[in-house]
Structure 1
Amino acid sequence: MDYTKCFKEVILKYPFIDPIVEFIRHNENMTYKVTEKGSEVTYLLRMHKPITINMQGVQNRREAIQAELEYLSAWSSHSELPVQIPVPNMNGELVTSIVIESEEVHCSVLKWIYGETMSKSDFTSEEMVSTLGKSIAYLHQFSRNFKHGSSFIRPEYGIEWVDNILTKLRAGEKMRIITAEEFQILEHAFSLVTGRMKGLSKSFETWGFIHADIHYSNLIRTSRGISFIDFGLSGFGYYAMDVAMGALFTKRELRDDLLSGYSSIISGKIDIAQLEDLMFLNISEYYAFLVSRKEKHMWIREHIPSLIELCKSLLKGGTVFYKINQVGLAN
């Protein structure tokens, strides 16, 4: 597909004046920075076409993209921090669909958030980690009260999601990136975690709309605080999943500060065992994603032993929340 032709056609459907377009990256979406020439007015253009078929999902459907943008629009009217506000095209639509080479591609435009993309090194102080916990809690607090209709469709991060991760890892075994012995250990760990997840309730307090991709690269330090970007994988799941993701790039000795920050906004008991299971699943999901990328197979082979050790710890009933350090993932 000629993506250059693609984004040029999309640009024409928005009221941009002499825009300068810069390619950013291609991951779960293909993204471009669009700046009005002679001004600082900047936008983010997303073509909802993942880099591999392995990343294709509900989130790429037109109605799901529409739902994400509806959530962002609602969040922007409540948040005290900058939000990626959706920008309608010249027909007043939030989602723009075009056909290139007989393939329909959905696109969207968001207002750019000005600030500094954060890094792992930013989260080495009690204050910053606590602030992250509070930021996640404010988002969840809004989600608890967010009202949507029956047509609001987004991914769900429940049992089916877990099964899908294991299916992708099984493909890694067939490719011989993961050994039969390693996969057997993974299967046992997944069986344990799935069994525990089936026993969890989906209540107002525990389950709702989550970001589902909390990572330091999706956090922007602005003049008003930490803003979230990239809701492309957002959907319905346990609120604890976002907290678990935050813990993955936080030093283990500071994780209590993350929980304290969160609990200062949303009171209630935080289940450490559930956080550990979700941390494990999120690490596993990253490996599963890389299975479809041949250039990352060597990385998987080099790092899979650490994931297997994590499995063994879970299977033995060991506590990993205070033991596993910050996770270093491939770029």
Structure 2
Amino acid sequence: MPDDANCIKEILLQYPFIDPVVEFIRHNENITYKVTEKGSEDAYLLRIHKPITKNMQGVQNRREAIQSELEYLLAWSSCSELPVQIPVPNLNGDVVSSVVLEGEEVYCSVLKWICGETMSRSDFASEEMASTLGERVAQLHQFSRSFKPSSGFIRPEYEIAWINNMLTKLRSGENMGVILSGEFQIIEKAFPPIIDRMKSWSKSIETWGFIHADIHYSNFIRTSRGISFIDFGLSGFGYYAMDVAMSALFIKSELRDDLLSGYTKVIAGNIDVAQLEDLMFLNICEYYAFLVSRREKHLWIREHMPSLIELCRSLLQGTPVFYRMNQVGLAN
């Protein structure tokens, strides 16, 4: 987290703020601040696109990719009945700014703040809310099907190269000793069958497109008009089922039929549960891969590794897990 007040001031001077009050939120895939105009209710989200660890660095941190994310948000805001994080241009009319941080140029963006309450896991503990979650994800995908990106549009892609990169990060965990060699061998064996199955998955307008790619209860805001998405920092192109799989990870297994029912209420069709299981596993592994580079999370990894190994063995044996996998205890 940058603690240099001059750095923050330099960024804010690029925008039409008059008397801003700045409050640090968190540092994860971006460094984020809430900016409020003193004496008013106008609030904004300032994002400095510098991830907390180098292994989170990717396409999404490039200027063109940030512009592409904001292009999507602006397009969606014109269609959505619910609040969307609309990009705010700087004094030059650009939606992406830059600042020199720790000797390197880093990009920044500002979004309008969505007023409401950040949701928790317990908010999605009923059949009604699980169904509503499915509907909201489907509504996003419904828009993505019609979205026409510009010629320079670029965002991360979540397919085989992403999986291989994830495995490389997990292998570094073995090298550090946070993942035992025997554990890594089991994890590694689970990947090739999934990659083989992914090669056979249909990639069409109905199955593949722009996805949120970071569906989590804390990335939903309860507003006066309904539940809105926030945090598209990892958004990109992938199978729509990936967002559904991520949604399933934070609700109880007995509510997952309600999630799927809500989704198919908006987008009709059959959902491949086996595909969801593969994508759930990949997203769990991606989370572990992210934590590997954070030493303060190594104890968490060790405590939760047995459940990951059990999941690997189930997938290798072809045992269905969608309706028996408990909520994943992902660290906050």
1:15 positional shift: 0.5
- Partners of 1:116 and 1:3 in 2: how far apart? 30
2:96 is matched with 95
- Partners of 2:72 and 2:189 in 1: how far apart? 37
User: Aligned in 2, Cα 1:100/1:317: closer, same or farther, shift over 3 Å?
Assistant: closer
- Partners of 1:135 and 1:230 in 2: how far apart? 15
Would you say 1:122 and 2:123 are equivalent positions? yes
2:151 is matched with 150
- Partners of 1:30 and 1:126 in 2: how far apart? 35
TM-score normalised per structure 2: 0.98
* Unaligned runs of at least 5 residues, structure 1: none
2:224 is matched with 223
Would you say 1:35 and 2:36 are equivalent positions? yes
2:206 is matched with 205
5 Å-filtered alignment, 1:174-189, equals: 174-189=175-190
1:307 is matched with 308
2:20 is matched with 19
Instruction: State the AA in 2 paired with 1:228.
Output: F
* Partner secondary structure for residue 24 of structure 1: strand
Residues 280-304 of structure 1, C-alpha deviations (whole Å, 9 max, x = no match): 0000100000000011111111111
2:84 is matched with 83
1:101 positional shift: 4.8
- Partners of 1:160 and 1:257 in 2: how far apart? 32
TM-score normalised per structure 1: 0.98
- Partners of 2:20 and 2:210 in 1: how far apart? 34
- Partners of 2:60 and 2:81 in 1: how far apart? 27
2:326 is matched with 325
* Unaligned runs of at least 5 residues, structure 2: none
- Partners of 1:124 and 1:58 in 2: how far apart? 35
1:160 is matched with 161
1:2 positional shift: 5.5
2:66 is matched with 65
Instruction: State the AA in 1 paired with 2:242.
Output: M
- Partners of 2:14 and 2:330 in 1: how far apart? 38
1:99 positional shift: 2.4
1:102 positional shift: 3.4
1:7 is matched with 8
Instruction: State the AA in 1 paired with 2:150.
Output: G
Residues 214-263 of structure 1, C-alpha deviations (whole Å, 9 max, x = no match): 00000001111110000000000000000000000011001000000000
- Partners of 1:179 and 1:242 in 2: how far apart? 30
- Partners of 1:291 and 1:31 in 2: how far apart? 22
Q: Which moved more, 1:133-142 or 1:100-109?
A: 100-109
* Partner secondary structure for residue 289 of structure 2: helix
Aligned residues between the structures: 331
- Partners of 1:231 and 1:211 in 2: how far apart? 6
- Partners of 1:8 and 1:304 in 2: how far apart? 43
Superposition RMSD on alpha carbons, in Å?
Answer: 0.9
Instruction: State the AA in 2 paired with 1:103.
Output: E
1:194 is matched with 195
- Partners of 1:285 and 1:101 in 2: how far apart? 27
